[in-house]
Amino acid sequence: MTVLRTTKLESLKASRHINPLWGRSSTPAIFEIAFCATLVLLCPASFLIPWSALELCDGSIGKLLVRLGDMDGIYSIFNLAQESLPSVVAPMKIYGSWVVFQATLFIVLPGTTGYGETTPAGNRLWYKINGLLSWFLTIGVYILGALCSWWDADIVAKQWMGLMVAASTYGIVLTLLVYIKAHVTPSHSLDRKFSGSLFHDIFAGIELNPRIGDLDLKLFNIGRVGMTAWTIVNLSFAASQYQHFGYVCNGMIVVNILQSLYILDFFYQEDWYIGTIDIAHDHFGFYLAWGGAAWIPSMYTLQAQYLAHYPFNLSQTTALIILLVGVFGYWMFRASNHQRIVVRRTGGKCVIWGKKPVVITAHYTTSNGERHTSLLLCSGFWGIARHFNYIADLILAFAMCAPCGTRNVLPYAYFVYMTVLLIHRSIRDEDRCSKKYGKDWELYKARVPYALIPGIY
Ligand code: NDP
């Protein structure tokens, strides 16, 4: 219903449309374009790197590099990949059923209505919030299927190579589809960004929130296809460890608990997620289409994949300490994100750390020329650093990797990736907020001078 409303509104707005003052930059530098092209071309096969390291090199990236140094080594990887993928038909069918099942749940399950942030073109979109129910139902069906022998509990681990090929293919096809859709039948035409570069448009996306009917492609792809798969992949690799070794090590249990907590939170707070950068500001291209479909299930699950191959039992005390550090990181992650949301939702009429919140009323203009106001919180976690929620996330990310021990760096790839992602994200968010809020953002920076770590950065 709202899609129709915004479309009508758009035709009115088009007549007085001015260039967006904020939102993603529309003039990427040449090195950015080259970077985007490199990622689009190389990423689809990236899952082969951890897979080869796990299957052939004792989980060691160092050994993998040595093996890649001579032709025999490359052939052995190639041969094993071929053996592991006798046919793509079965995994394609499984993956196709997965996407259709998730889309069906997304559309038919009941839910509440959430509203996103105002977009640069002045649209405020509605979202059906039913992710939590969908997540529980999916896990329920997965367990029921395993109990009833419709499939094996380690089905994903067994079919890993084929499923990753299917996920990567789906991610590429979706990227191309949304690229074409953005030109031919955009959902909200004034919220498109054209960069003038094919590779940049494919990588970063053109449409902000593309939809097919009620199916919001971004929320669906990241949340249902990606985040829900994260849980199932983890459970399946835990089952695989049990199949091979006859037990599930406590490291695997800690990884599953912490990551499930993070994913459960994601769905429990789905109406919060629609206000985050992913949904509110990033356009939908390869980064989020292929990223949601293939990167999340392959890279975020590295710890479970690693432990399924090389179990690691922590002492009970170490396991408990890691669990507690992770829960502490999670608490700070949730509390900091919640503070920002509650201040915005209540218009500042709330209590942060026992006191009235300190806020800046910031002003911005949408591309239709309308002036809006928004609140910037300067107390609580948001008074410590401008992106303190990222530090909390990193503490949790480290705790998710630590149960794998210190034998190999491979399972720490998630922590390294999150560190790079969040530092880069803080830089681009600062840039966008500074364009959006102008001198109000400068005022905020004067009050809260550090971006991530007080006294350091
Ligand atoms: P935030 O939730 O921090 O949102 C940033 C936005 O909040 C800004 O663009 C601005 O948007 C608004 N804002 C900035 N400063 C303030 C303030 N002082 N008070 C109120 N609003 C403010 O960023 P993300 O969306 O990147 O991250 C959300 C969470 O998700 C983080 O904890 C992050 O760690 C996590 N995350 C996890 C990822 C994963 O793959 N596991 C990936 C990315 C993020 P506006 O224009 O509305 O003012």
Q: Between helices 48-56 and 71-84, what is the axis angle to 10°? A: 100
**Ligand 1 environment, Cβ below 6 A:** 117, 276-278, 333, 337, 340, 374, 376-377, 382, 387, 389-390, 393, 422, 425, 429, 433, 436
Residue 83 φ/ψ, nearest 5 degrees: -65, -35
Question: What CA–CA distance (Å, rounded) separates 262 from 227?
Answer: 10
pLDDT at 22 over 60: no
pLDDT value of position 14: 40
347: alpha, beta or left? (left if phi > 0; alpha if psi -120 to 50): left
pLDDT at 281 over 80: yes
Closest-CA residue, ligand 1 atom 7, reads 276
SS (H, E, C) 225-268: HHHHHHHHHHHHHHHHHHHHHCCCCHHHHHHHHHHHHHHHHHHH
Strand partners, 127: 114
Q: Pocket of ligand 1, candidates 258, 259, 302, 390: which has the most ligand atoms within 8 Å of its Cβ, to mutate? A: 390
Ligand 1 atom nearest residue 378's Cα: 18
pLDDT at 355 over 60: yes
The rounded Å distance from CA 278 to ligand 1 centre is 9
Average pLDDT, the chain: 92
pLDDT at 76 over 90: no
Comparing CA positions, the residue from 230, 298, 290 lying closest to residue 48 is 298
DSSP SS3 for 215? strand
The percentage of the chain sitting over the pLDDT mark of 90, rounded to a whole number, equals 85
DSSP SS3 for 363? strand
pLDDT value of position 254: 98
pLDDT value of position 5: 39
Please state the pTM of the whole predicted model.
Answer: 0.91
pLDDT digit string (tens) for 307-351?
999 999 999 999 999 999 999 999 999 999 999 999 999 999 999
pLDDT value of position 28: 85
Q: What is the dihedral of CA 334, 338, 339, 342, to 10 degrees?
A: -170
pLDDT digit string (tens) for 159-181?
999 999 999 999 999 999 999 99
